[in-house]
Amino acid sequence: MDEIRERFKRLKRQLKRKLNKNKKTNKNKKKKRPQPGQKKKRPRSNERIELSNEEPRLKPRPKEGVIDDPVASSKKRKRKKLTKEEIEKRKKKKKKENIVEIVKFMLPVVLFAIFVFFFILKTSPHMVDGDSMNPTLLNGDRVIVRRTKVPKRYEIITFKPPVKSEFQYVKRVIGMPGDLVWTEGNDLFINHQAESLPDASELSAAHELPDGTIKVNISQEALDQMSQLRKIPKGHYFVLGDNRNNSSDSRTFGLVDGQAIEGVVSFRFAPFNNIGWIK
């Protein structure tokens, strides 16, 4: 009986041990499984090191030429095909905008140029009327006149003529103040190089006249004025048109007073094929 009791006790002990082992294993399994709603614990430093040592995973490369842009795709969807009328309207708007920009840029430049020409350089525009200055100036040419009262020899000037006229004349200066003058019949002789008048016997011989002498035929009115002079007086000028056969100038009305001179023709700005300085 005693042996049976000892065996029975041993069996109880063995059963208890097995039960205790099963309970421990079940508890460990419950701890490892995270319950729903609970946050996962961060891995410890040792675990982190082990994770870093793992091989990195390679991300798949996107295909060449394919970019996923939701903004661009939405714009493409929103764009609609324009009609011909809408395209033409847009072109007209662009042209108008370009014209406005050009005007805004050019307007101050033009205003500044006008200010410089008219106030600083003292100039004024004129239109040539007639053929008296052919071939230098043609009918309809538009020129700029530099305002001055003291022109130089052979310059082209504009002036108020000493005859009844609504327009100003444009002629070339031939005789300057201080030039010698003398007459023979209806002929007038002008010389700016000689210091004294030639002898009476030399007046009729053209080949014996002093160098630089200009001979012109003048009207009776101009002859009455010039025959009384030996030199062109101060502040007066003798002018001629380049087209001598079709010009009303000092041969008709005599000398021009310097106070009647407006200025010197310096530049031609129209027509465009003849733009340039005037000599």
The residues that are catalytic are: 132, 171
Q: With helix as H, strand as E and coil as C, how does 1-64 read?
A: CHHHHHHHHHHHHHHHHHHHHHHHHHHHHHHHCCCCCCCCCCCCHHHHHHHHHCCCCCCCCCCC
* Helix, strand, coil shares, percent, the chain, to 5: 40, 20, 40
Tokens of 221: 């009115």
Return the closest-CA partner of residue 145 out of 267, 237, 249: 267
CA 183, 189, 195, 198 dihedral sign is negative
Q: What is the C-alpha separation between 209 and 198, in angstroms, rounded?
A: 7
Q: What is the C-alpha separation between 28 and 30, in angstroms, rounded?
A: 5
